[in-house]
Chain A
Amino acid sequence: MPRKSMIQMSALGAFALLSCLLFMFYKIGGSWSFALEERGIKLAAIGLTAVAIAVSTLIFQTLTQNRILTPSVMGLDSLYMLFQTLLVFFIGSNNPLMANKNINFIATLVLMIAFSFMLYHLLFRRERVSIYFLLLLGIVFGTLFQNGSSFMQMLIDPNEFLIVQGKMFASFNSVNGPVLGMASIVLILSLVYLAYWFKYLDVLRLGKDQAINLGVPYFKLARHLLIIVSIMVSVATALVGPVTFLGLLVVNVTYQLFDTYRHKVLIPGAILLSIIALVFGQWMVERIFTFNTTLSVIINFIGGAYFIYLLIKESRG
């Protein structure tokens, strides 16, 4: 790793650590053990989401060679919203599927992963598949789901809508121990799975033809990477709600900061940035806005502004 990247990475690491400490210990009063446990779980959930979103968006963009796509174009976020809306609409918010966090998590996760496999199965029956068609199909399904949910959301009783609205924005407040445990296991497994394919990622940046020329089993690789991406996105979304825009932001800031194609720099960089964004953002939501806004508001505002600042700064320099 070049020296400049080393320094940047260390700075990011230090900043991330600082945010975590701030998050854990700021104005900790009363019972330490209780507060630490509560905050610890939340922090772990944030870390897990940060890893899942950063890694999945990065490899998705590497695969599609497109800097503005996030895995949400595969329709997973919309499926999540549709499922939650359907539950509230048909069986009400008191049903265990909605009210019990563990059951809701498992059901959501299974549904999302099952959907991705169905989609890939539909396409990968053929030997070679164009990613372009896959993305178009994902968008079509996504729009369908999204419409279904917006339609039902209009009909839902306003009180029940508040429950749905709660699901519309990412939130770390409802995560509990068992759910976190399950999510961690799934995430770790998918990371191990990714490790096997990791060496091909840099080559993919050269484009499909070059990758094939250099002996990358492109179509097989694409299939496996897509599966990994869907599992990661499903875990993060089922855990805390839709957060994929974070991925777009973080990954683009990472490209801008590090200016490299090497995934062994990009991936840790993106993970650290997304930890900073989420932990710091969550801290602001809780301590400064006292829950009067949502995490996405803060991240999108600060992150978006920072990204544009980076671009303008680069153009001047």
Chain B
Amino acid sequence: MRKWILVIMTILLAIMSVFVGVENVPLSDALHLTKEQVDILMISRFPRTVSIIIAGAGMSICGLIMQQLTRNRFVSPTTAGTLDAARLGVLVAIMVFPQATTLTKMLVAFVFSVAGTFIFIQLLNRIKFKDTIFIPLVGLMFGSIISSITTFFAYKNNLVQNINAWLQGDFSAVLRGRYEMLYITIPLFLIAYIYANRFTVVGMGESFAVNLGLNYKVIVAIGLTLVALMTSSVILTVGTIPFLGLIVPNIISIYSGDNLRQTLPLTALFGASFVLACDILGRLIIFPYEISISLMVGVIGSGIFIILLLRREKYAA
């Protein structure tokens, strides 16, 4: 029931997002667009809207999967060291291929973050852990090692500000020719949905999973890989957006429980429509300039979530 409301909301917001911007493209022209208007839509508006939806839904889902796999509500999709590996990749791209195009640099960084995740999974396979807390724990430690390497070189070469700026969430830089990497995530959504039940089962622990005939290690590895691929393509194209991975799944779980098959679409839709709404507002508030998405999500998100949490707290416990 609520799913339909969210679907409609997402669609409406997406349509709005396509038609809001500095260049005026009114909705009434939708059926007889000029060449110029088509260009604007195809070069800027459409990529932007698509990337918002993918980023919003993707990061929220990644958070949900990570939290399920580890049975820990405070784990975010970047806990597996993905963000740190991506940062290292950005550093290498900037230092080693300063002349390369943005898309090339992104690909370099992407390769790094995927490689990082594989090393992480290898590491997990070598460790006999007693409970799921060790997944994020090893991830955090692994991430900190990588990030210390990055910081070491970035600090020496005065690149800290530069790298941070790259990974700061920003949709205004999303244009045709530099966002296509995001499409990698679309098949991943599907796989995530197919595997949803298995992630829930794996979250119950190794013996539980084995009992149901699942290969624990393989499912964990699939989950982590999914999360890594989605996360790195999002943070490299649009940057990091706060909250989504951590808070959105928590809010959905408070309201709709923990059955992944059911909550996965809800989380994705809620994440997407939330980011869409923030982005549209960010473009309108100081029109014709715009406020960066991380700030909008940060401010609006905090406000909404604090209210939700406090209101909810009244009934709970």
Chain B's closest residue to A139 (CB) is B246
A60 CB → nearest B CB, Å? 12
Chain B CB within 10 Å, residue with most, of A67, A297, A315: A297
Q: A48-56, A146-154, A182-190: which lies at the B interface?
A: A146-154
Which single residue of chain A is at the shortest CB-CB distance from B76?
A139
| Interface of A (DSSP majority class) | helix
Once the chains bind, are A301 and B317 in contact (CB under 8 Å)? no
A300–B144 CB distance below 8 A: yes
Q: Which of B145, B165, B301 contacts A301 (CB 8 A)?
A: B145
Known: A66-B133, A147-B294. A315 touches B127 (CB 8 A): yes
Q: How many A-B residue pairs have CB under 8 A?
A: 147
Q: Which of A133, A140, A245, A299 gathers most chain B CB within 10 Å?
A: A140
Q: Say how far A49's CB is from chain B's closest CB, in angstroms.
A: 18
A5 at the interface (CB under 8 A from B): no
Contact of B217 with A by CB under 8 A: no
Q: Tell whether, in the assembled complex, residue A147 and residue B295 are in contact, meaning their CB atoms are under 8 Å apart.
A: yes
Say how far A163's CB is from chain B's closest CB, in angstroms: 12
**What 1/0 mask marks residues of chain A from 266 to 282 whose CB sits below 8 Å from any chain B CB?**
00000000000000000
- Chain A residues with Cβ under 8 A from B123's Cβ? 308
Contact B134 A311 (CB under 8 A): yes
Interface centre among B72, B79, B133, B313, by most chain A C-beta atoms within 10 angstroms, is B313
Partner-binding segment picked from B18-26, B32-40, B156-164: B156-164
Does residue A222 face the partner (Cβ distance < 8 Å to B)? no
Does B168 touch A at the CB level, under 8 Å?
Answer: yes
Q: Name A67-124 residues within 8 Å CB distance of B.
A: 67-69, 73, 122-123
Bound CA span A154–B148, Å: 22
Is B9 part of the binding interface, using a Cβ–Cβ cutoff of 8 Å?
A: no
Alpha-carbon gap, A170 to B79, bound state (A): 22
Chain B hits for A67, CB < 8 A: 133, 137
B145, B243, B312, B317: the one within 8 Å of A300 (CB) = B145
B305 at the interface (CB under 8 A from A): yes
Task: Return A170 CB to nearest CB of chain B, in Å.
Answer: 12
Judge whether A130 and B144 touch: CB under 8 Å.
Answer: no
The answer to whether A176 has its CB under 8 Å from any CB of chain B is: no
Is B102's beta carbon under 8 Å from chain A? Answer: no
Q: Which residue of B lies closest to A168 (CB)?
A: B160
B225 neighbours in A (Cβ, 8 Å): none
When the two chains form their complex, are residues B151 and A296 in contact, meaning their CB atoms are under 8 A apart?
Answer: yes
B156 near A293 with CB under 8 A, answer yes
Which of A132, A137, A150, A245 gathers the greatest number of chain B CB atoms within 10 Å? A150
CB–CB A311/B138 < 8 A: yes
Give Cα A81–Cα B26 distance, bound, in whole angstroms.
Answer: 42
- Does B310 sit within 8 A of A, measured CB to CB? yes
- Asked if A158 is an interface residue, CB under 8 A from chain B, the answer is yes
Residues B140 and A248 in contact, CB atoms below 8 Å apart: yes
B151 touches A297 (CB 8 A): yes
Please report which residues of chain B, range 253-311, place their CB below 8 angstroms from some CB of chain A when the two chains form the complex: 292, 294-295, 297-299, 301-302, 305-306, 309-310
Contact check, A68 vs B155: say whether CB atoms are below 8 A apart: no
Q: How far is the CA of A26 from the CA of B66 in the complex (A)?
A: 47
Q: Are A136 and B142 in contact (CB under 8 A)?
A: no
Nearest-CB distance from B248 to chain A (Å)?
12
Chain A residue nearest to B295 in the complex (CB): A151
Contact B138 A294 (CB under 8 A): no
The CA-CA distance from A196 to B135 in the complex, in Å, is 35
Does A298 sit at the interface, judged by CB under 8 A?
yes
Question: Shortest Cβ distance from B155 into chain A, in angstroms?
Answer: 6
Closest Cβ of chain A: how far from B147's Cβ, in Å?
Answer: 7
Q: Is the CB–CB distance between A153 and B164 below 8 Å?
A: yes
1/0 per residue A289-317: CB within 8 Å of B?
00011101111110111011001101100
Q: A140-B309, A148-B298 are in contact. Are A297 and B148 (CB under 8 A)?
A: yes
| Chain A: minimal CB distance from B124 (Å) | 10
In the complex, whether A14 has a CB less than 8 A from a CB of chain B is no
Given A130-B316, A312-B127; A144-B73 close (CB under 8 Å)? no
Cβ-based interface call for B205 (8 A)? no
- The answer to whether B128 touches A314 (Cβ under 8 A) is yes
Q: List 15 A-B contacts (CB under 8 A).
A: A68-B72, A133-B317, A136-B305, A137-B310, A147-B299, A151-B295, A293-B151, A297-B151, A300-B147, A300-B148, A301-B144, A308-B127, A308-B142, A311-B127, A315-B129
Binding site for A on B (CB under 8 A): 72-75, 79, 123, 126-129, 133-134, 136-138, 140-142, 144-145, 147-149, 151-152, 155-156, 160-161, 164-165, 168, 242-243, 246-247, 250, 292, 294-295, 297-299, 301-302, 305-306, 309-310, 312-313, 316-317
Supplied contacts A147-B294, A301-B152, 8 more A-B pairs, CB within 8 Å: A68-B74, A69-B74, A141-B302, A144-B302, A153-B164, A161-B161, A293-B151, A315-B128
